[in-house]
Structure 1
Amino acid sequence: MSFWDENFFNYSVPDLNEEPPVEYSYGTIDQNAEPNADVGFDSQASYGFVYDDSKQSYTEEGYEEKPGVSNVNWETKEEFMTEEALVGWVKSRAVDNGYIVVKRRTKKSKTTGTVIKVWLMCDRGGEHNSIAILRRSGSKKIGCPFQLVGLYNEVRESWKLQVINDNHNHEPAQNLEGHPYVRKFTQEEEDLVENLTERHMDPRNILSSIKKHNPANVSIPRDVYNLQQKLKNKKKFGDTPMQVLENVLHSQRYVYYTREDPETNVVEDIFFCHPKSYCWWRAFPHVLMMDATYKTNQYRLPFIQIVGVTSTHQTFSIAHAFVSKEREENYVWVLEMAKSMLNKCMEPRVIITDRDLAVMNACRKVFPEAAKYLCRWHIDENIAKHCKASFSDADWNKFKGVLEYLTHTWLNSYRDMFVTAWTNRTRHFGQRTTNRVESQHSNLKRFLRSPNSTLASLVGFVNEIVQTQEITKYRSDIDIFWTKLNAANPTLLEEEEIDVIGQMGLVTEEINSKPPEIKSLIKKVLAQVFPNKSDKKAPSVQKR
């Protein structure tokens, strides 16, 4: 007898390719059941023919259906003034007894449009209909028959509770942490999450604070993330990223400009200045320091910070910008925007940057009369980077390599931009490095949780930084030079006595008389007044 002969075994070998038997059951049809086409209803019930997949679905491993039992008497003569009061009473009582009750559907009046009937069911009611193909899906639905109905009495203007079936086919839950309903935050806890989020506290620390205030809270970190996203969506005005960004800039009264590709309307560069920075820049324009930082936003745009110094040696932000490319033309545009805010004011006398040729050339074009200096700190870092490895105490001859690098790379071309003998010819108030800009980079990145922040959120961080920059108005050691400047807040918009409605009417008539391509100008005007109507496209993600 062969080993592979089926008679070798004392029992028959099962066919693994045989389809498992499928059982069908036929439930009774409730002739009084409401139709499924009610307004606002997502049906979860099954009537008539029912597919019994209890042997093939994965609701709960080892689950055994129990006979219908209920220890709660739901019969009540109490009348409720609102639907929310009735539903709240039912949910609260169910939780106290280890069950979760949810809304099954609602029915609205065809005349008034208000809800007049609400169906309530156990969260384990209904059947699990999985459409998953590649993975096994589970469900907590096991067809629990529990059902209540709330009815609105138009005469008495109150709600009554009607019991359809008060039995469950499962035992009450011993722990309710797995149910989203009991993990829901109270209004006080939602306010706390919003407040702590605005202070940039991590979600895990927020949850720890909530549980410290309320030890009975069973929320999990995912609930905090979901609530933060919900709060963020509430504050979002606009559909596109540029509409959201421009709405933030407009509402915060920023001075801002954008530059787009004329063919695609994709934004390439963004310049913005905080209202406080606008005043400080016009009051203290003598020294300008500029540098770029990276890994700050989801579009990988270099982020430029322009920083100044006050008469009391305090750092303040002048302006900020996103640029698509670190080219001379981009830096020229940014500096021209900064220069445009100095109308009728003194231009900077000293500009300090690192040895970025594009930045240096842009500074020469926009501010030709200013003295341009190189940051000594960056020079020290470059010398250490290129020469420290080849220098040792035992080999002094290699010092010649250090000297040659310093001579050919820095002294021959740029000595008048960082050597004291030349820089002291201009009043620079002790500013010889861009360390103040580097400090602002570090300060900004304390707020960033990831390098993929949105542009609107980054503007929010800048706003918080600028709000903390308070300028000391009176100091005994103030330099006499600064006392000649007018530090009063300038008027951003001059008030003119004109008939705005009449003038806009004339503009509208003129535009209507023009060809269609000219009429597109009105969209640009509306985009300036209503940023959430902007048709500008978000910047392209830059390659690494």
Structure 2
Amino acid sequence: MTNYAEGHRRRAAFDADEIEYIEKQVLAQVPPAKISLGLHLRTPEKPRPAIKQLYNIGSKIRSEMRAGRNPAQHMLASATEAGYVQYREINSETAQLTHIFMAHPEAIRMYRSYKFVVGIDSTYNTNTYKFPLVEMIEMTPTNQNFIIAYAIMDRERKEDYVWMLEKLRTLLPNGESPNVIHVNRAVEKRVNDTCKYMRRRNTSSSRPDPEVDMGKFFTSTCWYFVVYAATDDQLREALGAMNEKWPSMVEYIETTWLVHGEKFLRLHTNTSTYYGNTSTSRVEAAHSVLKE
């Protein structure tokens, strides 16, 4: 074994079996560090390959797959080959693609069978262009998640969400709609249930009284009884109790959040079948899988 002054031995080349193994792992989106470990376990007598070597091989494989297309063109071409239902919007002035909506036929079939509770959330950290990637999630009666569709939009304005929801609606026959849509922002003229964690974050960031401990406010029984009041009398009683303990917050809560109470107060949401889903955490879990 040759000793170097520093660092480790490098593997000069890979044989045909190793290249085939690497290609399969790259196509399966396995990280280079895990590919390196897998190669080492297969042939422990050989030097462990450097991560940079595997990055370079993966980059070459992906470049060959794209056949001269850029990543966005390759994504659209791959979606077309796989039979995805697609909607696109192009800016007439700049000729730039601004909106993409994609849904797999199998996902559409499942969505038509289980159109109960749709969760919608976006993430910015999964693409080079920093466009919002929106995922739409549905659940089965066995409490399993499945992705209905993806949307990539250049912005997250009201009209962008309306465009996306209209495309989502086309996936259901006869003008049908899901029972509940969970979003992290309010979209007018749509049946939705505002995410409880976003309510908490937005209220905390814009509280009128900086002396109020928002952690105690939201974990107090006063707020709990407001959100989970089952009748109008219980709601009035809960607001009265809140006014005694948190008087500086009541006016803000009434004018900012309770005007949208039909979207998150249990008094109103119990009229819809939502299977206990009160946040977009299911969609955030799908984000984490995508980022892996």
Q: Which residue of 1 aligns with 2:150?
A: 320
Counterpart CA distance in 1 for 2:68 and 2:250 is: 58
Counterpart CA distance in 2 for 1:222 and 1:442 is: 25
Q: Please tell me whether residue 197 in structure 1 is matched to residue 23 in structure 2.
A: no
Q: What is the letter of the counterpart of residue 391 of structure 1?
A: V
Equivalenced residues, count: 259
Q: What is the letter of the counterpart of residue 148 of structure 2?
A: I
Post-superposition CA distance 1:290-314 (Å, at most 9, x none): 2222222111101111122223333
What pairs up with 1:261-410 in 2 under 5 angstroms? 261-344=91-174, 346-354=176-184, 356-357=185-186, 360-361=187-188, 364=189, 367=190, 371-386=191-206, 390-391=211-212, 399-410=246-257
Shift of 1:432: 2.7
1:218–1:305 CA distance, 2 compared to 1 (3 A): closer
Post-superposition CA distance 1:235-265 (Å, at most 9, x none): 2144344431222101222111211112332
Q: Which residue of 2 aligns with 1:158?
A: none
Q: Which residue of 1 aligns with 2:284?
A: 438
Shift of 1:220: 3.2
Q: What is the letter of the counterpart of residue 399 of structure 1?
A: W
What pairs up with 1:80-119 in 2 under 5 angstroms? none
Counterpart CA distance in 2 for 1:182 and 1:378 is: 50
TM-score, length basis structure 2: 0.76
Shift of 1:441: 2.1
What pairs up with 1:176-255 in 2 under 5 angstroms? 183-212=12-41, 213-217=43-47, 219-255=49-85
Percent identity, please.
Answer: 27
Counterpart CA distance in 2 for 1:434 and 1:282 is: 21
Q: What is the letter of the counterpart of residue 381 of structure 1?
A: R
Is the CA contact 1:303–1:323 (under 8 Å) kept in the aligned structure 2?
A: yes
TM-score, length basis structure 1: 0.43
What is the DSSP-based 3-state SS (H/G/I as helix, E as strand, rest coil) of the residue aligned with 1:351? Answer: strand
Counterpart CA distance in 2 for 1:404 and 1:233 is: 58
Structure 2 portions without partners, runs of 5+: 5-9, 217-241
1:434–1:210 CA distance, 2 compared to 1 (3 A): closer
Q: What is the letter of the counterpart of residue 436 of structure 1?
A: R
Shift of 1:199: 4.3
Cα RMSD, aligned residues only: 3.2
Is the CA contact 1:390–1:398 (under 8 Å) kept in the aligned structure 2?
A: no
Is the CA contact 2:66–2:74 (under 8 Å) kept in the aligned structure 1?
A: yes
Counterpart CA distance in 2 for 1:328 and 1:385 is: 21
What is the DSSP-based 3-state SS (H/G/I as helix, E as strand, rest coil) of the residue aligned with 2:95? Answer: coil
1:204–1:438 CA distance, 2 compared to 1 (3 A): closer
Larger RCO of the pair (alpha carbons < 8 Å, separation 6+): 2
Counterpart CA distance in 2 for 1:242 and 1:255 is: 17
Is the CA contact 1:302–1:323 (under 8 Å) kept in the aligned structure 2?
A: yes
Structure 1 portions without partners, runs of 5+: 1-172, 176-180, 448-544
Counterpart CA distance in 1 for 2:33 and 2:283 is: 32
Q: Please tell me whether residue 420 in structure 1 is matched to residue 281 in structure 2.
A: no
- Structure with higher Rg: it is 1
Is the CA contact 2:136–2:150 (under 8 Å) kept in the aligned structure 1?
A: yes
Is the CA contact 1:183–1:220 (under 8 Å) kept in the aligned structure 2?
A: no
Q: Which residue of 2 aligns with 1:480?
A: none
What pairs up with 1:442-461 in 2 under 5 angstroms? 442-445=288-291, 447=292
What pairs up with 1:128-167 in 2 under 5 angstroms? none
Is the CA contact 2:137–2:282 (under 8 Å) kept in the aligned structure 1?
A: yes
Counterpart CA distance in 2 for 1:305 and 1:429 is: 20
Is the CA contact 2:132–2:154 (under 8 Å) kept in the aligned structure 1?
A: yes
Is the CA contact 2:36–2:48 (under 8 Å) kept in the aligned structure 1?
A: no
Counterpart CA distance in 1 for 2:83 and 2:192 is: 32
1:441–1:182 CA distance, 2 compared to 1 (3 A): closer
Counterpart CA distance in 2 for 1:211 and 1:303 is: 36
Is the CA contact 2:137–2:146 (under 8 Å) kept in the aligned structure 1?
A: yes
Q: Return the structure number with greater helix share.
A: 2
